[in-house]
Structure 1
Amino acid sequence: MTTPHHKSLVGIHLILLPLLAGCSALGFAPYPVAHVMTDDTQAVLAQTPSNLDVPRELSKEVQVAHYLQPGDELLIETTDGDSTVRLPADQRILADGSVDLGAYGRVVVASKTLEQAEALIQRAIFDLSGESTAVNVRLIAPIHRYYVIGEVNSPGAYSLTGHETVLDAIMEAGGLTARASACDLLLARPTEPSACRVTLPVCYRSITQLGDSTTNYHLKPGDRIFVSRQSLCEELTGPLLGSRTCDRCCKRQVACCDPRVAPIDLPNFITSMFETIVPVDPPDADSNGSNATDSNAPDTYTPELTPQNPAPPPQRPADGPRPTPGRLDGELDFGMQLR
């Protein structure tokens, strides 16, 4: 015969059994778990100002210049079809920062821009063969990465092509798991060891359910997206409070009376600065070794950065024609109309 006292003891044992066994079904485990936002992170995130002027989904930015680094994949070729110079076309920059030019040796191009790399290769060819030929260096696959960590289905490092946002990154990582926290998501940017920290809150449900681009940041190389797992409180109160807006997110969303005001078909890449590319000519075939330090040599190459404050793209009338795009830079074709 089972007494009420025995029934209560059995009930308590059934509740405590998964906890004592280390099961995390209720968000609790006797051992630490990796996907929990630390107190330091919470404190730094609480200090982050709201409405930061950072690139977002509808106001993306292009990088000023790419500096080559080990792992970048290049295409090196001569522009003169009649030239006798033959170069290995596909090149991956080695760990020592060099590329293999075959009969013309190795050239260290790490930490150089594409224009500086072209000048170095042209000089190496001229020094060994005496032939002046123009070389084109194209960046095929940069080594840039971003990282998605925590409660996602496929955490890992992913290649950054330049257009990705937080939503793109989470979808690339397979989406959130069933144990992902609804509010403890952030984007962390790498900073120097003794510098301040850049942590940006991510309002995932506002991004996906309302199309709010406030926290759908435009990713940069090295960005880390962290998705924390649900806490015990979140799991227990989820059925009752799970639909509430997070404290870090906007709680005053307003519906647009006319959905056509959304700028869904306009170029959204802007540049705060642009680099004036100095033309690189091959060495003069009639010159001697004394001109090895001419004005086009990489040691004296200094990119000129000119600040720009471009006006926002014009809004297309609801019933009017689409704007005609201008001539685009073929090397940095981001869909931006250059003026």
Structure 2
Amino acid sequence: MTTHPEYRVAAPDILLVEAVNNIRPPFSTLRAGDQVLVQIARGLPLEPDVEQETSPLEYQAAVEFEQAFKTINAIYLVGANGSIDLGPYYGAYPVAGKTVEEAQQLVLQVLKDRFGLRAPQVSLILPDVAGKQAISGEHLVRPDGTLALGVYGSVYVAGMTLDEIKSLLETHLAQYIYQPELYVDVLSYNSKTFYVVMDGGGYGERVVRLPCTGSETVLDAIAQVQGLSEVSSRDIWVVRPAPAGSSCAQVLDVNWSEIVAEGITTTNYQILPGDRIYVEADRMISIDNALAKLISPVERVLGVVLLGTRTVQQIDNPNANNNNFGF
């Protein structure tokens, strides 16, 4: 047994891609639907603007009202209009399309300009720093050789090794994810195959396409097609494809009896991608089928002639059937 060369991905392989790190980069912008934790210190004064003759209960209610709407320390949703609404006192702030730092500076500047606050302090934090879409699961290599990454676009990976694909995907995702770290592996080896061709003894050939994962032998291949058929002989050989333009091919004869009856693995060759295992039909069955195909048309012609003769005789002599035939 020999190891195959370093695997190169092709359509329609299925890759397993797992993102170890899936955090939004600091330069990513806010968008509708994001949740932002907003905290404001040294903001608007909490003392209620009430008349002096107000009763203690009314004053306490006014204080609680002021504290409820002027204390900003909660998570706010970026609305469909791209703004976060901080309540009736502070109002709304358009933050969509801005980074977290830019949105923080916007709120801080508005507090100074609109409300005349001298030294307000503002903090904006993203509680959920995950990327737009998780990079996890099965990814099919398309017929054009590209790998779909959802909202992050697609990348051409055909003909590349797993290490090359990992490096390429991390470079591509760095535009959307902070320092992405990926794990890439082949989940289904669909592009590397071999074929088992079963001779039908004059009635066509059955071709079975099987995936080549690296350790299959002739015996494994025959086992995957449920063994030799009723018309198969023990004349089996492996044909290894020759390079384009070559006039000869590599043919490896298989001694089936030695492999299955004696356990001799000399001719139990390891199968490589593109190999053809040909199982020839039993020669006697092939001859019998050939004779059957040759004689069958003659039998049909004679049968039609005989049927026509009997039909004419029956028309000429209707009683002939009663006199000469019957059960």
TM-score (normalised: structure 1): 0.48
Higher normalized strand content (fraction of residues): 2
Bigger radius of gyration among the two: 2
Higher normalized helix content (fraction of residues): 2
TM-score (normalised: structure 2): 0.49
